[in-house]
Homo-oligomer: A and B are copies of this chain.
Amino acid sequence: MAKQQADNITMASGGTYSLATRGAKDVIDRATPRVLKAIEGLGIPADRARFTMADMGCADGGTSLEMVSAVIEAVQRAAPGVQSTVVYADQPHNDFNALVQIAHGLGPFESWSRRFDNAWPLVSGSSFYLQAVPDTSLDFAFSATAMHWLSEKPCEIESHVHMVGASAEEHAVFSARAEADWLTILQHRLRELKPGGRAVFVNFCRDAAGHYLGNTGGVNMFDTLRDIWHEFVADGVINSEELARMTLPQYYRTVEEFAQPFDAGLLPGMRLESIETAQVVCPYAAQFQADADLETFASGLIGTIRSWNQSVFLGALDGSRSLDERHAIIEDYYEAYRVRVLDDPTGHGMDYVHAYMTVVKDS
């Protein structure tokens, strides 16, 4: 096992990640036919005794419960006597108490582990930057909405919070880190997969139209996140060093970037079977279109946005501020975003833009 340590970034804990991220589940639901096709591609014989899959970067595991259930059902249909193991993996600062309870059906969702005999959840504290299980252990690997997190922040993005708004120079640094990280991620999966094994990755991307999460034609969410911090600097709430540190260690790859290590022959024994990009509409914006309930829309949207970035922003605030003060700034920040939505909801939302891909290891 490599000794590299995963980062300290955490999703909202206590099972609230899945509650706050209905859209992340919609994305996995959209990927499920692709997943089931990959399972079919495994050609599981009727006398197969064992099946092992992994969900990598699973957070609290709530968003993938139904997908996992569909996989186990398909595998049991192919091989009625099979015993399945599902390895839920995330970095060691993840909320594993929430994950275990959700996997065992003790959380707010129904779990496959209560429905199926002969199927067991296991949990790993190895991030996808590490090998998580022995060589040739996995029939199937899955990951959704996780691999945009880089192994480290390669530089600060001075005048924005995200690489989508980086300068050319900053972009090049982020791009190089993302290229190396993607290769590392795939090399570990190449070792973990059995011969003939398959993986489905559903990753945030920049699509052919230049769209990405929260930027699909309306108000650009990331520009809004940046603008409010700039206002906070102008108003003297935070200082410019803090602003510079407000850099999400993420990279949204293009289809070409996802294909690059395969095209470059860097992964002998593994091929990218198919890749497509697709948009999944913001569930909060969709509900607002239907019910025109502005308060609910603004609260839901802000809740889903903050669930994945507030730990980064909180960590960027100066340590000389009291923890109470830091929390107060964070609350004011998201409140400012909420007020913008309340003032004029037009174009606000967080549509998802993902690349859906299937990877196959040679038999």
Residues of A within 8 A of B (CB): 1, 3, 49-50, 83-85, 87, 92-97, 99-101, 103-104, 106, 113-114, 116-126, 131-135
Interface pair B104/A100, CB less than 8 Å apart: no
Question: CA–CA, A94 to B135, complex, Å?
Answer: 29
28 pairs of residues in contact across A and B, judged by CB atoms under 8 Å: A1-B117, A3-B114, A49-B135, A50-B134, A83-B134, A92-B100, A92-B101, A92-B104, A92-B106, A94-B100, A95-B97, A96-B96, A96-B97, A96-B99, A96-B123, A100-B123, A104-B125, A104-B126, A118-B134, A120-B126, A120-B131, A120-B134, A121-B124, A122-B122, A122-B124, A123-B123, A123-B124, A123-B125
In the bound complex, residues from chain B placing their C-beta under 8 Å from that of A134 are: 50, 83-85, 118, 120
Question: CA–CA, A352 to B106, complex, Å?
Answer: 34
Interface pair B85/A119, CB less than 8 Å apart: no
In the bound complex, residues from chain B placing their C-beta under 8 Å from that of A104 are: 92, 125-126
Q: What would 13 more interface pairs be, CB under 8 Å, given A1-B113, A1-B116?
A: A3-B114, A50-B134, A83-B135, A84-B134, A85-B134, A93-B101, A95-B97, A96-B99, A120-B131, A121-B125, A122-B124, A123-B124, A123-B125
CB distance from A94 to the nearest CB of B (A): 8
Question: CA–CA, A233 to B126, complex, Å?
Answer: 50
Question: CA–CA, A122 to B86, complex, Å?
Answer: 11
Number of copies: 2
In the bound complex, residues from chain B placing their C-beta under 8 Å from that of A99 are: 96
Interface pair B124/A120, CB less than 8 Å apart: yes
CB distance from A54 to the nearest CB of B (A): 11
Question: CA–CA, A87 to B122, complex, Å?
Answer: 8
CB distance from A11 to the nearest CB of B (A): 13
In the bound complex, residues from chain B placing their C-beta under 8 Å from that of A97 are: 95-97
- Chain B: CB-nearest residue to A131: B120
In the bound complex, residues from chain B placing their C-beta under 8 Å from that of A50 are: 134
In the bound complex, residues from chain B placing their C-beta under 8 Å from that of A95 are: 97
Interface pair B1/A120, CB less than 8 Å apart: yes
CB distance from A237 to the nearest CB of B (A): 33
- Chain B: CB-nearest residue to A95: B97
In the bound complex, residues from chain B placing their C-beta under 8 Å from that of A96 are: 96-97, 99-100, 123
In the bound complex, residues from chain B placing their C-beta under 8 Å from that of A124 are: 120-123
Task: Say which residue of B103, B116, B117 sits within 8 Å of A125 (CB atoms).
Answer: B103
Interface pair B1/A119, CB less than 8 Å apart: yes
CB distance from A311 to the nearest CB of B (A): 15
Question: CA–CA, A118 to B100, complex, Å?
Answer: 25
Question: CA–CA, A133 to B87, complex, Å?
Answer: 11
Question: CA–CA, A299 to B285, complex, Å?
Answer: 57
Question: CA–CA, A126 to B1, complex, Å?
Answer: 25
